[in-house]
Amino acid sequence: MVGEGLLNPREGIFTAKERDILAIICRCNKIEREMVKTYLQTAKTLATQEVNLTLSALKDNEQKDEKLKHLFDLLLVLKPYVLNMQTLKIYQTERVK
């Protein structure tokens, strides 16, 4: 799991968060593990785009503090909102059927 990038111990130490994540993964059945793999693939793709966007945005920007706050809002506020709301929207649609 570490080699895949699913768990990321800091300096070789598994924090409580990594142990919690490991416990969740260990309880997953085959279908759920496939979803976890999809999460990981999607996260890697997004991470590459996010880093490229951030480096590009900060490169020629004189107002780095403001730009950095905006970028963190995109990554830490907007991203989870969009992802979670899409899941909720699909769930509500499926539940109505």
Residue with tokens 């976890």: 36
Residue 1 lies in a domain: no
Average pLDDT over residues 15-42: 94
Residue pLDDT, tens place only, 59-84: 877 888 888 899 999 999 999 999 99
pLDDT of residue 10: 84
| Whole-number pLDDT of residue 62 | 81
State the Cα torsion 10-16-18-21 to the nearest 10°.
Answer: -170
88 within a domain of the structure (yes/no) = yes
In a domain, residue 55? The reply is: yes
Q: Is 10 helix (H, G, I), strand (E, B) or coil?
A: strand
Ranking 3-7, 19-23, 51-55 by mean pLDDT, the lowest is: 3-7
pTM score: 0.77
Instruction: Tell me if 49 is assigned to some domain.
Output: yes
For residues 25 and 6, is the Cβ–Cβ distance under 8 A? yes
Q: Which structural domain range is residue 58 located in?
A: 30-96
How much is the pLDDT for 57? 87
CA diameter of the chain: 52
35 part of a folded domain: yes
Q: Can you tell me the distance from the alpha carbon of 71 to that of 53, in angstroms, rounded to the nearest whole number?
A: 9
Task: Examine residue 19 and state whether it is found in any structural domain, yes or no.
Answer: no
**Number of domain units in the chain:** 1
Structure tokens at 86: 């899409």
Q: Three-state DSSP class for 13?
A: strand
